Structure 1
Amino acid sequence: MDRRTAPRLLATLALTASLAACGGTDDEAAGTLADQISTDLSVEPDVPPSEEPAPEELVVGDVVAGDGAEATDGTTAQVKYVGALYENGEEFDSSWSRGEDSTYPVTLGEGGVIPGFEQGIEGMQVGGRRVVTIPSDLGYGPAGAGDAIPGDATLVFVIDLVEVTD
């Protein structure tokens, strides 16, 4: 290895490590959307429409990192949320509409909600706000859900983790 090879090798390793840490395009998309969501947990968040192509995989981005108990498999997470369509930001459901203090219980690992919603909560900590973009196959699929969610829709949820119990 000569003097020019070592710096090139180090630069290549640093670039590879930084790309692995950021996770690529999906994390960048989550970061962009997360940057547009309010960090004020006392206020119902708005979900902006996206002009970007819908992701094909689950995309998770923290808006506010919590510092309390962690939501893990088998625990029940009390969450506040807003659900909207990815393409136009049109809200289809919100716990906030049932009252500012209204939460929704999700027991992780039971499959009581769509897979993408449950997967998006996993690893959150109490006091956190997270934006989760869910592709159709982890949401309602080709059938959709009623009049509000068309078939093959990509969904966006902004989720606040209020409490975790065993």
Structure 2
Amino acid sequence: MSITAVPLRSIAKGSLTRLWIGVAVVALAAGGLAWAGQQGIEPSPATFLAQNGDADGVTTTPSGLQIKVLAEGTGPSPTTADVALVGYKGTLLDGTVFDENPQAPMPVDGVVPGFSEGLQKMKKGGKYRLWIPPQLGYGDQAAGPIPAGSILVFDVELHDFKSRAEIMQMQQMMQQQQGAQGAPLPQAMPGR
């Protein structure tokens, strides 16, 4: 059995340093590419809400709804038995507007849970921004232009609110007035 010796060359001075510098440059380049690749990616709802909850003026309710008061209103707040007159703009996190109305009547208990909770915290004349997590919005189901699992962002202004009983009474009064206006007028008697 014979052993063949292979001559090894000695490492030139500075070669090991250049090798480590090369490895560091490759690692930095890979990190930079990874960072650049994520710039167009929207964060997960949980990540966004965790970061947004730390923003100035944002409060998070026990349910997970996030609220920022843009302008405080006055007086009492609506309840689930009320119908609110609101102006609102609903967007997705990327700014896509999915619904907007400057003046719409809404039963407080007839909207998604997060919107209802936000309305019940507002006062007349108040303006709020609401971040509604998926579990308080449409959850894992798509709803028209809203993708499944979306955080809903609403800018809401509470113009006024009335109880359902008040609205029913107003409707009855209007119907009575219309009925009275539609009744034929008594005819004048000739010669009188």
* Counterpart for residue 133 of structure 1: 131
Q: Is 1:60 matched up with 2:45?
A: no
Letter in 1 for 2:106: V
Determine the C-alpha separation between the residues in 2 that align with 1:144 and 1:30. 31
Deviation digits for residues 66-125 of structure 1, max 9, x if unmatched? 114422231211100000002x111111003xxxxxx222222x3x11111111111211
Letter in 2 for 1:72: T
Letter in 2 for 1:120: G
SS of residue paired to 1:89: coil
Letter in 2 for 1:81: Y
Alpha-carbon shift at residue 28 of structure 1 (Å)? 3.8
RMSD: 2.4
CA radius of gyration, larger in: 2
* Counterpart for residue 3 of structure 2: none
* TM-score using structure 2 length: 0.52
User: Structure 2 vs 1, CA of residues 159 and 30 (structure 1 numbering), >3 Å: closer, same or farther?
Assistant: farther
Structure 1: gaps (5+ residues): 1-23, 33-55, 97-102
1:70 pairs with 60, 71, 77, which one? 77
Count residues with an aligned counterpart. 111
* Counterpart for residue 107 of structure 2: 107
Determine the C-alpha separation between the residues in 2 that align with 1:164 and 1:30. 29
SS of residue paired to 1:151: coil
Q: Which has the higher helix share?
A: 2
Q: Is 1:90 matched up with 2:90?
A: no
* Counterpart for residue 146 of structure 2: 149
- Among the aligned pairs, what percent are the same residue? 35
Flag as ranges the 4+ runs of structure 1 deviating above 4 A: 24-27
Structure with the larger RCO, 1 or 2 (CA within 8 Å, 6+ apart): 1
Alpha-carbon shift at residue 30 of structure 1 (Å)? 6.6
* Native 8 Å contact 1:83 1:155 kept in 2: yes
Structure 2: gaps (5+ residues): 1-49, 164-192
